[in-house]
Structure 1
Amino acid sequence: MENPHALLLLSLLLLNLALPSMQQKLDPADLRALASIKNSLTDVPSRRSRASFFSTWDFSSSDPCSSFTGITCSSLGRVTTLTLGTGLTDSPGLAGSLPPSLSDLSELTQLILYPGIVTGPIPTQLGRLVNLRVISLTNNRLTGQVPATLSLLNNLHTLDLSFNRLTGSVPSALTRLPMLKVLILSSNDISGDIPAVVSQLLHLDFSNNKLTGQLPQQLPSTLRYISLASNELLGPISGMDTLSDLVHLDLSMNRFSGALPASLFRTSLPSLMLQRNNLSGWVPLVVPAAEDQPQPPSYGEGSIVDLSHNALTGELSPILAGVESLYLNNNRLIGTVPRAYVKSAYVGTTRTLYLQHNYISKFPVEPGSALPDTVSLCLSYNCMVPPIGLAACPSSAGTELSRPASQCSVFNYG
């Protein structure tokens, strides 16, 4: 009779011998691509950190799928995600350039490059990676244009190329990708017009570039976050009427002109930044409620509205009462501050209220009332007599309490 213990030992031995051959080996094409990537990039030496991203990339003895930092593989031995750099706060990142051989990782779905000093262009060959869903190449020194070939990536969900040195224009087909939800090209040197946006975008950030022209006539109703700050855009603010889900709009530091669209105040945008433009007219005194919303919602905790440094006129609108941080300074506003503003400041709902450098004639304070320590109120350089002091005013407000009487009388604001 055969010894069962001997049979068990023999089975375990055969299983152990078979394990190496059962391990999934990396596809040869992917292995060559990884070797090329390592030859094109290098760790930047740092006295603060000993972390070395490529220290585990040992092609002589390692199985990349199980031991290489920054990659994950499919069950078929293909690289599906590639993260270049450690991402540690004390790491200076990688140097070198991105090789065209990245496109040989044909099953790649995610490509991330952590902050560093990687230079050179973004390989146009990335347009071959039809499975890519995420491209994030931020905070480096990449140059050249945004490759038009990225517009071939119909599965792309997120594209973040911010904080580089990219030039040229935004490829017109890029904003039409059917699956694109997040598009961030901020802090580059990109110029030209904003192309028509027809995809189902949620997040659009082209801030800190050199974009010119006007806003697209219609923006996707799906948008929740828009930042076009610090460009050279002009004309009226348009295309906002259908953006009912918008929670952040930053068009500051451009050359927009014309009136403020009433639709911007219908949904009480939690974050509305329009400062330092050429906007005129006045904030609507009353905003009609939407059909599906009997009462316009009120501003909540953390809300911020900045309309400063424009040419807004008329009396202050009560619809902005309750904004936590409200900046209306450096305009041409007149009249009495609505009591709703005063109450909101004195109960601490509004924590910052800047109204300096206008032509306001009255701030109706109740006798004996005092502002909470948490509230910053600035009313200097208006037409109030007697003026309210400079408490909590920024240094840019100057030291003069009131406007010269001649200014207030000439403009009939007294």
Structure 2
Amino acid sequence: MNIFQHSLTLILTLFLSIPPTTQQQLANTDLNALQQITYSLTDVNSGRFFATWNFTSPEYACSTFAGITCSVIGSQVRVTALYLGTGLSSSPGLAGTIPESVYQLTELTQLILYAGIVTGFIPSEIGRRLKNLRVVSLTGNRLTGAIPASFSELQNLHTLDLSHNKLTGDIPPELASLPDLRVLILSHNNLVGEIPDLSNESKLIHLDISKNNLTGMLPGSIPVTLRYMSLSSNALWGPVQYMTSSNLIYLDLSMNKFSGPIPGILFTSSVTSLFLQRNNFSGLLTSFSRSRSSAYGPGTTVDLSHNFLSGEIPDFLSTVETLFLNNNHFSGEVPAAYVSNVFAGMMRTLYLQHNYLTGFPGGNSMVLPDGAALCLSYNCMVPPAVGLMACPASAGGPVSRPFRQCGVFRGGDTMG
């Protein structure tokens, strides 16, 4: 579990901590809604989850129903949190469809559907009638159709996770502007269209819309509160601008069609995990300086591989722990600072294969520390043996470029 998954777990834990359940009888409207749920959803592992949902008991106490939490509201005991499924990794989850009767649970603040094989549409009435919802998580199922536009009416919504489904259509444009929304995860779906404008007044801290079919350019601005943003594996294009969030730590724009130079703000800001691989970025990486509080060091990762970056490798990335610069048009010698940090164990991964580099300070007598990875294959030099031992299988081919490819560089191109 990485730091962002851990943070998300803490966020959900905060909102799942509701006053203890009561032994008083549930309100009839909620009992009816729960019964309707059992008609639409079944446990793939028969009997495990719904075993305690006994509608023949005269008690109907909240504590007798697995997966619900209740509170006394007025004079009635109402369901305030509904967790469908066990959430255990060993459980195949639930099957069926989400029943529209869910919207009868009008005091719900959390609606959680754990991973399973639930199909069908997300009922739009959820957004229209469950105005108290703070957390909606329907991840890891087979839900289809569009994200209900009515979700934009959930003014109290804090966390929305619809990831790992088969949702289609656009992202409702008002969704990202909800006043209390902090976590928005729509990754691993089939969403199309452009990224909605992200209001400067938005309070988002975590945005993940990766692995969809989104197109267009980046929005004009991003919220200053944002700490995690992943737009990976879409069809986004154009230059990268406006990345000015002072709190952004994790940024993944990989596997898109972004082009032009990489803006210096991405190197001088607080970003310590930067993934820009497999795009069409070009131009030089000039030297940038970072503040001491956001300096590269242990735990940092920068991946600029599979682009069209050229010129000499600058020194400012020499303190990154995991660095991928392979499959670009870099030329000149590998900076000495990189070499010393690799062999001192400070830089754990340095991939430089498939460039036009002409020299590597050091020789075959140098020994890589345990766990370090260095690859120098297919450059304009004969790499030392130590620079070939950790190359991935994808490096392939001869250890050096053909001489005809290693002419004079002008603007990143070779002259034969």
The two structures share one fold, judged by TM-score above 0.5: yes
Counterpart-to-counterpart distance in 1, 2:61 and 2:256: 49
Counterpart contact for 1:229–1:252, Cα < 8 Å: yes
Q: Could you report, residue by residue, the CA deviation over 1:266-313 in whole angstroms, capped at 9, with x for unpaired residues?
A: 1352211000000001222133x5xxx4x4742122211110000001
Match 1:397 to one of 395, 398, 412: 395
Q: Please state if 1:129 is matched with 2:127.
A: no
Counterpart-to-counterpart distance in 2, 1:367 and 1:125: 68
Deviation at 1:175? 0.7
Q: Please state if 1:330 is matched with 2:330.
A: no
Counterpart contact for 2:360–2:383, Cα < 8 Å: no
Deviation at 1:235? 0.4
**Correspondences of 1:78-93 after superposition (within 5 Å):** 78-93=78-93
SS at match of 2:101: helix
Counterpart contact for 1:251–1:274, Cα < 8 Å: yes
Match 1:311 to one of 308, 311, 315: 308
Aligned to 1:25: 25
- Equivalent residue letter for 1:345: V
Aligned to 1:102: 102
Aligned to 2:337: 340
Counterpart-to-counterpart distance in 2, 1:284 and 1:115: 46
- Equivalent residue letter for 1:250: D
Q: Please state if 1:115 is matched with 2:115.
A: yes
Aligned to 1:221: 224
Counterpart-to-counterpart distance in 2, 1:23 and 1:379: 67
Aligned to 1:172: 173
Q: Could you report, residue by residue, the CA deviation over 1:296-350 in whole angstroms, capped at 9, with x for unpaired residues?
A: 7421222111100000011101111121110000000011111110111000111
- Specify whether residues 200 and 60 from structure 1 end up closer, same or farther in structure 2 by C-alpha distance, changes over 3 A only: same
Determine what percentage of the aligned residue pairs are the same residue.
Answer: 58
Q: Could you report, residue by residue, the CA deviation over 1:26-61 in whole angstroms, capped at 9, with x for unpaired residues?
A: 111111111111111001137xxxx61100000110
- Equivalent residue letter for 2:406: C
**Correspondences of 1:188-337 after superposition (within 5 Å):** 188-198=189-199, 199-241=202-244, 243-267=245-269, 269-287=271-289, 293=291, 295=292, 297-337=294-334
SS at match of 1:102: helix
Counterpart-to-counterpart distance in 2, 1:285 and 1:268: 16
Tell me the matched-pair count: 383
Q: Look at both structures and tell me which one has the larger radius of gyration over its CA atoms.
A: 1
SS at match of 1:78: strand
Aligned to 2:48: 52
Q: Could you report, residue by residue, the CA deviation over 1:104-147 in whole angstroms, capped at 9, with x for unpaired residues?
A: 10100000001100000000001111100000000000000000
Counterpart contact for 1:268–1:299, Cα < 8 Å: no
Counterpart contact for 2:267–2:288, Cα < 8 Å: no
- Equivalent residue letter for 1:52: R
Counterpart-to-counterpart distance in 2, 1:367 and 1:407: 25
- Equivalent residue letter for 1:337: V
Counterpart-to-counterpart distance in 1, 2:69 and 2:349: 48
Counterpart-to-counterpart distance in 2, 1:74 and 1:40: 25
Counterpart-to-counterpart distance in 1, 2:326 and 2:216: 27
Counterpart-to-counterpart distance in 1, 2:328 and 2:23: 70
Counterpart-to-counterpart distance in 2, 1:162 and 1:281: 35
Counterpart-to-counterpart distance in 1, 2:314 and 2:235: 29
Q: Could you report, residue by residue, the CA deviation over 1:341-372 in whole angstroms, capped at 9, with x for unpaired residues?
A: 01110001111100000001111116843221
Counterpart contact for 1:87–1:115, Cα < 8 Å: yes
> Which segments of structure 1 move beyond 6 Å, counting only runs of 4 or more?
none
Counterpart contact for 1:267–1:296, Cα < 8 Å: no
Counterpart-to-counterpart distance in 2, 1:223 and 1:284: 26
Counterpart-to-counterpart distance in 2, 1:176 and 1:64: 39
Aligned to 1:4: none
Counterpart-to-counterpart distance in 1, 2:260 and 2:277: 14
Give the TM-score, by structure 1 length. 0.89
Counterpart-to-counterpart distance in 2, 1:194 and 1:160: 17
- Equivalent residue letter for 1:399: G
Counterpart-to-counterpart distance in 1, 2:408 and 2:179: 57
Match 1:361 to one of 358, 363, 380: 358
Give the TM-score, by structure 2 length. 0.89
Counterpart contact for 1:253–1:277, Cα < 8 Å: yes
Q: Please state if 1:406 is matched with 2:388.
A: no
